[in-house]
């Protein structure tokens, strides 16, 4: 198939998917577990690093797709607490890729009115990463469009531990310890974000991998067998179409 025909085919598919989406019932918050960079590279006889680099292209696709649709919140699982167990050279590469992204993406984020934020144990990242992150957050602070949150050095159980410690500390300061769903939600890193409506995971794995465990209690989960670097805007549109076909009952009987 020639490139022209394949792009005609994908624009036809895009038009079909867009026509199927009800813009009044969009998921407000989409969260993504970006998985399969290593396997993508292996399949092409490339080093794992090449998979991570190609993953940046898919990050841009996801951000662009969400912006075009008018999604309010996009959260990406970019580096987990468990990712430190990888070989030091891979961790160093992921960090340098992150720094590159933080520097390169700001103009594009500003052009698209996107505000960048992060969640996770940010204080444990290197000073250089923290500085680049602070600068990108600062430079996009006034944008009023989509909120793009990068989960960095993030683990959901650690988040719940941090929230609990925070509540206990507050309790001993004020003499009042209130533990309920509202106080815990408000002590999580995600206190400013609504719970995700749609959780996307690539590479076919049916796991949550310690990502937003509290927050995805009622999220719809959509899994594609594609590896993350191959994820496109068409996949995002397909996920939204499928999301809109589901009936969300939140444990009740529905309508």
Catalytic residues: 35, 83
Contact between 119 and ligand FPP by CB under 6 A: the answer reads: no
Angle between helices 233-245 and 48-69 (to 10 degrees): 60
Task: Give the footprint of ligand FPP on residues 192-251 (CB under 6 A).
Answer: 228
Residue 194: CB atoms within 10 Å = 12
Query: Cβ closer to ligand FPP: 163 or 228?
Result: 228
Q: Among candidates 235, 155, 206, which has minimal Cα distance to 35?
A: 206
Contact with ligand FPP (CB under 6 A): which of 31, 63, 78, 163?
Answer: 78
Task: Give the footprint of ligand FPP on residues 79-98 (CB under 6 A).
Answer: 83, 97-98
Q: Is 185 exposed, middle or buried (0-12, 13-18, 19+ CB in 10 A)?
A: middle
Contact with ligand FPP (CB under 6 A): which of 17, 30, 38, 125?
Answer: 38
Contact between 129 and ligand FPP by CB under 6 A: the answer reads: no
Contact between 115 and ligand FPP by CB under 6 A: the answer reads: no
Minimum CB–partner distance for residue 120 and ligand FPP (Å): 12
Task: For residue 28, give every residue at least 6 positions away whose Cβ sits within 8 Å of its Cβ, in sequence order, or none.
Answer: 71, 72, 73, 194, 197
Stretch of residues binding ligand FPP (CB under 6 A), selected from 19-27, 75-83, 217-225, 235-243: 75-83
Q: Pairing state of beta strands 29-33 and 115-119?
A: unpaired
Beta partners for residue 198, in sequence order: 30, 220
Contact between 147 and ligand FPP by CB under 6 A: the answer reads: no
Stretch of residues binding ligand FPP (CB under 6 A), selected from 53-61, 118-126, 135-143, 172-180: 53-61
Contact between 68 and ligand FPP by CB under 6 A: the answer reads: no
Residue 84: CB atoms within 10 Å = 11
3-state helix, strand, coil in the chain (%, to 5): 55, 15, 35
What's the gap between Cα 211 and its chain centre?
10
Contact with ligand FPP (CB under 6 A): which of 59, 129, 148, 151?
Answer: 59
Contact with ligand FPP (CB under 6 A): which of 26, 29, 31, 37?
Answer: 37
Which residues are at the interface with ligand FPP (CB under 6 A)?
34-39, 52, 55-56, 59, 76, 78, 83, 97-98, 101, 150, 228
């Amino acid at each position: 198939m020639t490139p022209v025909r394949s792009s005609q085919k994908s624009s036809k598919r895009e038009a079909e998917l867009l026509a199927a989406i009800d813009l009044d019932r969009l998921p407000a918050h989409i969260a993504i577990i970006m998985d399969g960079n290593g396997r993508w590279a292996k399949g092409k006889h490339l080093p794992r690093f090449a998979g991570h680099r190609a993953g940046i292209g898919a990050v841009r696709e996801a951000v662009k797709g969400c912006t075009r649709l008018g999604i309010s919140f996009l959260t990406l699982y970019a580096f987990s607490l468990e990712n430190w167990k990888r070989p030091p050279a891979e961790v160093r590469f992921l960090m340098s890729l992150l720094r590159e992204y933080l520097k390169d993406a700001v103009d594009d984020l500003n052009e698209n009115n996107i505000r960048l934020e992060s969640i996770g144990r940010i204080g444990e990242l290197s000073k250089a990463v923290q500085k680049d992150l602070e600068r990108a957050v600062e430079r996009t602070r006034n944008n009023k469009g989509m909120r793009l949150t990068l989960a960095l050095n993030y683990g959901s159980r650690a988040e719940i531990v941090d929230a609990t410690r925070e509540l206990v500390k507050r309790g001993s300061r004020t003499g009042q310890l209130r533990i309920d769903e509202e106080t815990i939600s408000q002590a999580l890193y995600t206190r400013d974000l609504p719970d995700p409506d749609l959780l996307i995971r690539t590479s076919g794995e049916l796991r949550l991998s310690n990502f937003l465990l509290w927050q995805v209690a009622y999220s719809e989960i959509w899994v594609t067998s594609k590896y993350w670097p191959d994820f496109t805007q068409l996949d995002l549109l397909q996920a939204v179409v499928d999301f809109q076909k589901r009936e969300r009952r939140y444990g009740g009987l529905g309508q």
